[in-house]
């Protein structure tokens, strides 16, 4: 190491950077309830987030908590390899606690997030498990958004992996395994086996569909209307091209599972 | 260029260490300078299967901690000229391995002119298993023909996709191979086991071989002889085929079909 600094080198520099930051949208603050939900989402991959910095967003909180167990919340996030660095949309009377816990209060700072946020009051996400969950990072490992409206996953999705196509359709080019989960606000198109949990229309879009060339899911759901297959998949569809959509008009939505003609 | 190959599985006891020893030996028999590293800190047994446990003085962790030089810790195999074993430590805790340490050791092996580094992964999907696959160029996913093993292999494939350096740096993904081990054609025939075709259909990874279930594996490991050296044994043939396929040669699958015993055998018994 040289002791002589080149004349232009400053001891500190500041650069613009878009961090690979995850925003965790909390709808509840009780660590034990969140732990349960996160475990369901990420149980198989405790290190899904690989140490990403996270911002806790309280905009969609179900109620007004009197206090927040910051220590519990932070240790829960860290257990899932998220590093909370700040909070936003937190009620002013709770902000002091966040600061004390070492979190920055980031209201009014634009983050350049990907994907449009849907206001909670208009179309609350409907999921079969009805679990309050932090929004997963849009950038799951093997996925790359090609253009607004479609996310394409090129590699097989494995047990324990989860992909969320926020505000988009999802195309799986190499199928998915049992124990994997895909969620799309739009439709899901799966080339290859569809074997895990497939949740389309996650924000309530009843026109979303699920299409697969090799049908064998554990669960399918469209706009919160779901079907499980504990007793097996109908023989006419199992391992074959199939198509899932909602029928029955606004009141009486039901899932229709039909063979798909590929010829 | 050194190629790093991880032998991994997720599930425990499926034959990773047996495979690591046989595969590394097979590469060395084909003339490649090969090092096999035991990543199973605290549970070392690669050195037992390789029959070099009495010669272990320094181990992988000593090298990482700078307590020994790599050349001091490498043990030359007694069967193959080109093969070296880097044993694990029995006494250390699991956190003794660090990513920087592992990287430095692999870099040094590269400088020493090794063609292949074979990493024997511990079971599980935690730190140790992740470290073993972090630097892999290729992975041999060792799977027994049963549902729980298939599921764990699937998990480890996901981790390979997300945690390997190749994935992190956006390079060409780790090349995946499926190895089905402890395969019993009779039990498949009786419907007690998944067939290798089922396993491949579920995992959708190219098949590099099927290793039959064989009592001789246990004998070989008791003697400290990697299974590939067992003259005339089906496991040895099967592992030799695996190495050949890995090197790009075509070999038909052997020992995957159950032949019902003929009349004479049924009448007079015998093996
Ligand atoms: N082809 C085979 N036929 C019969 N037994 C086998 C075969 N392969 C491995 N075994 C036996 O299975 C047991 C586990 O093998 P091995 O130690 O290689 O597995 P492993 O995956 O390395 O286990 P761990 O996860 O504990 O590291 C050993 O007793 C071994 O002798
Ligand atoms: Mg082992």
Q: Calculate how close chain B gets to A95, using CA atoms only, in Å.
A: 35
**Which residue segments constitute the domains of chain A, with CATH numbers given?**
12-105 (3.30.70.260), 150-259 (2.160.20.70)
Tokens standing for residue B100 = 């920087």
pLDDT above 80: residue B237: yes
The residues, any chain, with a CB within 8 Å of residue B23's CB and separated by 6 or more, are B5, B7, B118, B140, B228, B239, B242, B243, B246
- C-beta of B128 in contact with ligand 1 (< 6 A): no
Q: Check: CB of residue B18 under 8 Å from CB of residue B230.
A: no
Average pLDDT, chain A: 77
Ligand 1 pocket member B140 (CB < 6 A): no
Neighbours of B236 (CB within 10 A): 22
CA of A176 to the centre of ligand 2 (A): 29
Q: Is B38 in the pocket of ligand 1 (CB under 6 A)?
A: no
How far apart, in whole angstroms, are the C-alpha atoms of residue A18 and residue B27? Answer: 46
Closest CA to ligand 1's atom 18: B15
From the CB of B44, is ligand 1 less than 6 Å away?
no
Probe site for chain B from A160, A174, A190 (most B CB atoms < 10 A): A160
Judge whether residue A61 has pLDDT over 90.
Answer: no
Nearest CA to ligand 1 atom 26: B13
User: Does the ipTM exceed 0.95?
Assistant: no
**Are A47 and B167 in contact (CB < 8 Å)?**
no
Helix A70-79 / helix A92-100 crossing angle, nearest 10 deg: 60
Ligand 1 mean position to B15 CA, how many Å?
A: 4
Residue of A nearest to B155 (CA): A159
- The arrangement of strands across the sheet holding A181-184 comes to A162-165, A181-184, A197-200, A219-222, A225-228
Query: How many angstroms separate the CA atoms of A10 and B78, rounded?
Result: 57
Q: Is the pTM of this model over 0.90?
A: no
Give the model's pLDDT for residue A63. Answer: 81
> Is B143 near ligand 1, meaning CB less than 6 Å away?
no
Is A136 within 8 Å of chain B by CB? no
Cβ–ligand 1 distance for B149 under 6 Å, the answer no
Whether the CB-CB separation of B133 and B119 falls below 8 Å is answered with: yes
> Number of Cβ pairs closer than 8 Å across A and B?
50
Strand partners, A104: A86
pLDDT digits (tens, 9 = 90+) for B47-74: 999 999 999 999 999 999 999 999 999 9
- Give the model confidence (pLDDT) of A85-105 as tens digits: 888 888 888 888 888 888 888
Closest partner residue to B158 (CB to CB) among A160, A175, A192 is A160
Cβ separation B154–A179 shorter than 8 A: yes
- Within 8 A of A213 by CB-CB distance, chain B residues are none
Give the pLDDT confidence score for residue A122 in this predicted structure. Answer: 31
Closest ligand 1 atom to residue B218 Cα is 31
A243 pairs with which residues across the strands? Answer: A211, A258
Q: Is the CB of B18 under 6 A from ligand 1?
A: yes
For chain B, say whether A230 makes contact (Cβ under 8 Å): no
Q: Does A156 touch chain B (CB under 8 A)?
A: yes
Query: Is B182 a pocket residue for ligand 1 (Cβ < 6 Å)?
Result: yes
Q: How far apart are CA A99 and CA A90, in angstroms?
A: 11
* Cβ pair A157:B163 closer than 8 A: no
User: If you measure CA to CA, which chain B residue comes closest to A44?
Assistant: B155
Average pLDDT along chain B: 93
Contact A187, A166 (CB under 8 A): no
pLDDT single digits (tens) A214-249: 999 999 999 988 899 988 999 999 999 999 999 987
Nearest to A177 among B154, B159, B163 (CB): B154
Give the residue-averaged pLDDT of B208-226: 95
* A97, two tokens: 């606690």
Contact residues on chain A for B151, CB-CB shorter than 8 A: 159, 178-179
Chain A residues in contact with B163 by the CB 8 A cut-off are 47, 50
Cβ contacts (< 8 Å) between B203 and chain A: which residues?
177
Lowest mean pLDDT among A40-44, A121-125, A192-196, B71-75: A121-125
Across A36-40, A75-79, A185-189, A259-263, the highest mean pLDDT is recorded for A185-189
For chain A, list the strands marked E by DSSP: 22-25, 52-57, 82-88, 104-105, 143-147, 150-153, 162-165, 169-172, 181-184, 188-194, 197-200, 210-215, 219-222, 225-228, 242-247, 254-259
Average pLDDT for A142-147: 45
Q: Which ligand sits nearest to residue B218's alpha carbon?
A: 1
């Amino acid at each position: 190491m040289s002791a002589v600094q080149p004349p232009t080198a400053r001891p500190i520099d500041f650069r613009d950077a878009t961090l690979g930051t995850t925003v965790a949208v909390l709808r509840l603050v009780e660590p034990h309830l969140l732990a349960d939900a996160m475990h369901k989402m990420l149980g198989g991959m405790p290190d899904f987030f690989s140490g990403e910095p996270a911002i806790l967003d309280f905009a969609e909180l179900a109620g007004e908590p009197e206090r927040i167990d910051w220590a519990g919340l932070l240790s829960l996030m860290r257990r899932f390899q998220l590093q909370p660095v700040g909070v936003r949309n937190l009620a002013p009377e709770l902000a002091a606690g966040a600061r004390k816990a070492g979190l920055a209060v980031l209201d009014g700072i634009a983050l350049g997030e990907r994907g449009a946020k849907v206001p909670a009051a208009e179309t609350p996400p409907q999921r079969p498990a009805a679990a309050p969950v932090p929004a997963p990072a849009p950038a799951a490992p093997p996925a790359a958004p090609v253009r607004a409206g479609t996310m394409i996953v090129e590699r097989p999705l494995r047990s324990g992996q989860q992909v969320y196509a926020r505000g988009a359709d999802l195309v799986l080019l190499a199928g998915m395994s049992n124990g994997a989960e895909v969620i799309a606000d739009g439709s899901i198109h799966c080339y290859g086996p569809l074997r895990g949990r497939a949740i389309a229309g996650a924000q309530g879009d009843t026109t979303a569909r699920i299409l697969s060339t090799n049908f064998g899911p554990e669960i399918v759901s469209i706009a919160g209307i779901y079907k499980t297959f504990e007793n097996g998949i109908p023989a006419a569809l199992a391992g074959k091209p199939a198509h899932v959509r909602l029928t029955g008009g606004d009141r009486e939505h039901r899932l229709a599972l039909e063979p798909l003609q590929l010829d | 260029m050194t190629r790093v190959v991880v032998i991994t599985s997720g599930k425990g006891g499926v034959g990773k260490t047996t495979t690591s020893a046989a595969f590394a030996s097979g590469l060395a028999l084909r003339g490649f300078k090969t090092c096999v590293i035991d990543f199973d800190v605290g549970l070392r047994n690669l050195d037992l299967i390789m029959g070099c446990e009495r010669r272990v003085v320094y181990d992988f962790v000593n090298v990482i901690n700078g307590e020994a030089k790599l050349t001091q810790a490498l043990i030359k195999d007694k069967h193959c000229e080109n093969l070296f074993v880097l044993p694990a430590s029995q006494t250390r805790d699991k956190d003794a391995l660090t990513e920087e340490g592992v990287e430095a050791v692999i870099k040094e092996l590269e400088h020493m002119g090794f063609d292949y580094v074979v990493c024997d992964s511990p079971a599980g999907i935690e730190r140790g298993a992740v470290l073993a696959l972090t630097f892999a160029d290729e992975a041999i996913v060792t799977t027994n023909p049963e549902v729980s093993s298939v599921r764990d292999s699937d998990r480890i494939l996901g981790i390979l996709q997300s945690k390997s350096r190749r994935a992190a740096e956006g390079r060409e993904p780790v090349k995946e191979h499926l190895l089905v081990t402890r395969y019993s054609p009779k039990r498949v025939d009786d419907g007690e086991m998944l067939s290798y075709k089922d396993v491949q259909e579920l995992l959708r990874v190219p098949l590099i071989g099927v290793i039959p279930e064989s009592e001789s594996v246990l004998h070989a490991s008791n003697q400290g002889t990697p299974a590939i050296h067992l003259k005339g044994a089906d496991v040895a043939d099967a592992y030799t085929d695996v190495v050949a396929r890995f090197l790009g040669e075509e070999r038909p699958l052997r020992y995957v079909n159950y032949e019902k015993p003929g009349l004479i055998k049924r009448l007079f018994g015998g093996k």
